Chains A and B, each alone.
Chain A
Amino acid sequence: MEMNDIISYGLRIGVIISFLLLALGSVLLFINGGGGGYTIKQLSMTNSSINSSQFSINGIMHGIDMLDGMDIIMLGLIVLVATPIVRVLLSIVAFVVERNPLYTIITIIVLTDLMIAIFIIPKLIIH
């Protein structure tokens, strides 16, 4: 198998894991009557202010142990957002293996843009 094949199958596995986490989290949400410290009614309000900005990675990881539906859904969404990022990371490896310096640099630039979006822009906007 070529590197790109591995990457693409990895992506699909990422999506399947995310799908399963979202489904499991949703079921738990209904069984437990809520999640993340909120009742299901609060969570389901159309204008509900319960959203991604309140969920940190640490908090989510803690909630997973407790089989908290909301934290499992959040983890599923994080896995989903991470799949293309992992793809870019692995593409850098693939271009290094191919000895393609131009595309190694180009892919590092794309990764840098992603990292700026994840770590820098939110701090600039919110504070």
Chain B
Amino acid sequence: MVIIYFIELIVVGILAGFAGSLSGLGGGVVVIPLLTILFGVPIDYAAGASLVSTIATSSGAASAYVKERLSNIRIGMSLEVATTLGAIGGSIIAAYIYSKNLDQLIFIIFGVVLLFLLYPTFKGFREKHERRMHKDWSTKFFQLEGNYYDRSTNKRVYYSGYRWWFGEGVMGIAGIISGLLGIGSGTLKVIGMDWGMKLPMKVTTSTSNFMIGVTAATSSAIYWALGYVQPFIAAPIVIGILIGSYYGSKMLQTMAGKRIRLIFLMLLLVAGLEMILRGFGVA
């Protein structure tokens, strides 16, 4: 029954959106293994559906962040120069791989990237209570400063970041991975801004959320023309992921949410290994 299949795809989207926002990895990273391993969907169609749903979660969450003025549009935009170029490069590499029927290669790269992302996600990104006023020439030139109101301490936090070139480099890689695999690469973007540019975590996560949409739109345009967006798969997945990530973000704060998060990370470990095995033709 076609309608059952359609509803199953919505459920997959809900699960992926829920797991993606609880684990902090994003819905795309979860939906691709689910679609390919459980439903036998070709990986280019799975990646296409993932990319467009990444835009949905990014744009949908943007207004929640803006109320608190957490995301820094200047910093985000300056880094988008590298993510969009990377996304173009990554999409071209993906197009080449698919045209040579080397889909297995995408499975292997996806599995490896997923395993690499799990460790920082498992450790969690926490606000380090150090003074965040690092400065260098790029701080001044690129205006890498801002402030936001921290509701937990009732204080206005002033911050600045540095090593713009470092962030830009990490963003280039994040863009390539995003275009190659059809994911948002939010984790890498957070690493670049947190570890590279020493920006506060709250600013980092919300700015990364803003950037994901622009990066994914770049790759989506190329994926669209190449025919990787299959409407019958993409529509239920976007619908599901929007619903799932809405509830996932609500549950994030609760204790039960923290325990479920661990379970999801374990399952993603299995998914990553499964993708690699699938890529080598073992599973």
Question: In the bound complex, do residue A52 and residue B62 qualify as a contact, i.e. CB atoms below 8 Å apart?
Answer: no
Q: How far is the CB of B29 from chain A (nearest CB, A)?
A: 19
Contact (Cβ within 8 A) B41 A46: yes
C-alpha gap A46/B97 in the complex (Å): 20
Which residues of B84-133 are within 8 A (CB) of A?
84-85, 87-88, 91-92, 95
Q: Which residues of B contact A58 (CB under 8 A)?
A: none
* Bitwise interface map of B from 38 to 63 toward A, beta carbon under 8 Å scored 1, else 0: 01111001001000100110111011
Which A residues fall within an 8 A CB radius of B?
A: 4-5, 8-9, 11-12, 14-15, 18-19, 22-23, 25-26, 29-30, 40-41, 43-44, 46-48, 50-55, 70, 73-74, 76-77, 80-85, 87-88, 91, 94, 100, 102-103, 106-107, 109-110, 113-114, 116-118, 121-122, 125-126
> Are the C-beta atoms of B88 and A121 separated by less than 8 Å?
yes
Most buried by B among A15, A19, A47, A73: A15
- Tell me whether A103 and B74 are in contact in the complex, defined as CB-CB below 8 angstroms, given that A12-B59, A12-B62, A44-B232 are known contacts: yes
Are B92 and A22 closer than 8 Å at their CB atoms? no
- CB contacts (< 8 Å) of B242 on chain A: these are 15, 19
Q: What does DSSP make chain A's interface, helix, strand, loop or mixed?
A: helix
Shortest distance in angstroms between B143's beta carbon and chain A's nearest beta carbon?
7
Contact B66 A122 (CB under 8 A): no
Expressed in whole angstroms, the Cα–Cα distance for A77 and B228 within the complex equals 13
Number of A-B contacts (CB under 8 A): 186
Contacts of A76 in B (CB 8 A): 235, 238
Number of interface residues of B (CB under 8 A): 61
With A44-B6, A50-B230, A113-B84 already in contact, the answer to whether A126 and B143 are too (CB < 8 A) is: no
Say whether A48 contacts B221, CB under 8 Å. no
Chain B residues near A83: list those with CB within 8 A: 55, 59, 213, 217
Residues A116 and B234 in contact, CB atoms below 8 Å apart: no
**Does chain A have a CB within 8 A of B166?**
no
Cross-chain pairs A/B with CB under 8 angstroms, 27 sampled: A12-B59, A12-B62, A15-B56, A18-B56, A18-B238, A30-B6, A46-B41, A47-B42, A51-B229, A54-B227, A55-B231, A73-B234, A76-B235, A80-B238, A82-B217, A84-B55, A85-B214, A87-B59, A88-B80, A103-B77, A103-B78, A110-B77, A110-B214, A113-B80, A117-B91, A121-B222, A126-B226
